[in-house]
Structure 1
Amino acid sequence: MNEDSVSTTLQPAYILHYTLWRESSFIVDAFTLSHGRISLMAKSARASKARTRALYQPFRPLLLSWVGGSELRTLTGIEESGAPLSLADTELACGYYFNELVLRLLGKDQPQPAVFAHYAVALANLATVDTVQPGDLQAVLRTFELQLLDGLSVLPDLARCTADGSAIDANRMYRYHPANAIAVASNRLAEGQLSLGIQKQKTRMGDADHRDPSVQADGVTPDEGVMVSGRTLLALSSLTLDDAQVLEEARILMRRILRVHLGDRPLKSRELFDTLVRRD
């Protein structure tokens, strides 16, 4: 069968992003239940009726139909499958953050039904989060980050992320090295001197040990790590995110873990979030 003739109908989906194309069309990046992330050409969408044009928005549960199976499919139908979610200010920025994570981390045409379900729940939670309790919003963010990485099979076992696989002790402090996904039991007073001493010696010798968690796999680039309590690592592992101190440590740690997979290119949604914070 010709790939361009393949027809798919009424698939649950969300629009992640769209761009204008020529005089009357959109190119749509969508996250679908059955096909994962795909790109669609919405021909003459900007010339359609106002009610239909209004469907081309993020955070709205949709049913999409299309033809083709190549890099750019052709959209043939768009219907609402639920009420649009009402997100504003900080929650809106968080929604765009979720979309950017999906766009940056999910490859095209890789079905991720579990991640799709987590994404839908995360958006619904954003729409109902208690803005008076900042921890509630942080818990929604950290939960989806963890679920996304787990769905992509790149989330380490944070309950046993020691070098020998032994269990994390809730009562100890660790230095977690994101590039190597290893937590090293740490003494706050001696840790800085010890890490610097190891790194200087290895740089001087030019013979970095790849098993050393303070050095990345290239044997040269340092992985300085981030201090985190065993309690926070265990809370992240079990998705028990209801403690203010745990959430603060988790915010810093997850940003470092995500950077391993996202690279150094900044997230546009984070810039939006920072703008909203400054405005407030």
Structure 2
Amino acid sequence: MATRVSDEPAFVLHSIPYKETSLILDVFTRSYGRMALIAKGAKRPHSVLRPVLQRFQPLAVSWSGKSELRTMTKAEWLGGVPPLVGDALLCGFYLNELLVKFTAREDSHEDLYDEYAATVHQLGQDPKELEPILRPFELALLKETGFAAALDRCADTNQSPEEDEHYVYQPERGLRKLQADDPGHWPVMTGKHLSLMSAKDYSDPETLSQSKTLIRFLLGLHLQDQAMTTRQILIDLKKI
């Protein structure tokens, strides 16, 4: 059955040329998840779509069709986010790459969409520090897509972490208290900094350090041999 959707909040994640005048877009929408849309004629010099279909800008998009590749019928720029530049732009590409790697098409993630929109807005403010902006999104993505357990509950007790205790993140299980025979490559965190991560408070440098170790572990665990170009660039630049 053909569907028609109007004025859906969305961001363009990726685009590729299609034939002479069109684009195929990977679009992250709030209610429908990632959608594949064809924007017919969007490459023409006087197309109303051409200046609108920019990455990292909030849009209201409309489409119709019944195949996996729907046809975009309208797109409007909603404004409110300055263009990303410099390292912030590179971080934006990193966010998009994460979404493509970890989310399935047409799988709704409304909370994750809101987190992405807020993160892009923060990056648009030309921030001096990037890690405190990226970390909440990374954790939200991993939790929302089922690749990470909650950090505010211990798997053994279902209790909140105790501030002075040390915990490990055990694959396939989640957070639990550190034991003497735990593998050395499992990330170790204190209850205090786990609580700060859950509260999205990264003002303490040690919270940032422990969260970086955790994120690298979780991403490496689930990406395995899949290369992430922007992530490696940011690591090389010591931005994440």
TM bin, normalised by shorter chain, reads 0.7 to 0.9
Shift of 1:59: 0.4
The 8 Å contact of residues 14 and 32 in structure 1, kept in 2 or not, is answered as: yes
Shift of 1:109: 1.1
Q: Deviations over 1:34-60 (max 9, x none)?
A: 211100111221114266312222101
Cα distance, 1:274–1:22 mapped onto 2, change above 3 Å: farther
1:250 to 211, 214, 221: 211
Give the Cα–Cα distance (whole angstroms) in 1 for the partners of residues 38 and 210 of structure 2.
Answer: 42
1:182 to 171, 175, 184: 175
The 8 Å contact of residues 31 and 116 in structure 1, kept in 2 or not, is answered as: yes
Q: Does 1:265 align with 2:222?
A: no
RMSD: 2.4
Q: Which has the higher helix share?
A: 1
Kindly name which structure, 1 or 2, has the bigger radius of gyration based on alpha carbons: 1
Give the Cα–Cα distance (whole angstroms) in 2 for the partners of residues 271 and 154 of structure 1.
Answer: 20
**1:20 alignment partner in structure 2:** 17
Matches within 5 A, 1:1-280: 2-3=1-2, 6-49=3-46, 52-131=49-128, 134=129, 137-186=130-179, 191=180, 194-195=181-182, 224-274=185-235, 277=237
Larger mean Cα displacement after TM superposition, 262-271 or 248-257? 262-271
Cα distance, 1:85–1:263 mapped onto 2, change above 3 Å: farther
The 8 Å contact of residues 60 and 75 in structure 2, kept in 1 or not, is answered as: yes
The 8 Å contact of residues 12 and 54 in structure 2, kept in 1 or not, is answered as: yes
**1:205 alignment partner in structure 2:** none
The 8 Å contact of residues 105 and 261 in structure 1, kept in 2 or not, is answered as: no
Give the Cα–Cα distance (whole angstroms) in 1 for the partners of residues 88 and 154 of structure 2.
Answer: 32
Give the Cα–Cα distance (whole angstroms) in 1 for the partners of residues 170 and 23 of structure 2.
Answer: 42
Cα distance, 1:50–1:68 mapped onto 2, change above 3 Å: closer
| TM-score, L = length of structure 2 | 0.87
Give the Cα–Cα distance (whole angstroms) in 2 for the partners of residues 170 and 266 of structure 1.
Answer: 36
Cα distance, 1:261–1:70 mapped onto 2, change above 3 Å: farther
Shift of 1:247: 0.6
Percent identity over the alignment is: 29
Give the Cα–Cα distance (whole angstroms) in 1 for the partners of residues 215 and 229 of structure 2.
Answer: 17
Give the Cα–Cα distance (whole angstroms) in 2 for the partners of residues 185 and 39 of structure 1.
Answer: 44
| TM-score, L = length of structure 1 | 0.76
Q: Deviations over 1:60-92 (max 9, x none)?
A: 111111111331111121221114532112111
Cα distance, 1:239–1:13 mapped onto 2, change above 3 Å: same
Give the Cα–Cα distance (whole angstroms) in 2 for the partners of residues 96 and 239 of structure 1.
Answer: 22
Give the Cα–Cα distance (whole angstroms) in 2 for the partners of residues 259 and 69 of structure 1.
Answer: 36
Give the Cα–Cα distance (whole angstroms) in 2 for the partners of residues 85 and 179 of structure 1.
Answer: 40
Cα distance, 1:272–1:185 mapped onto 2, change above 3 Å: closer
Shift of 1:129: 5.0
Shift of 1:152: 3.1
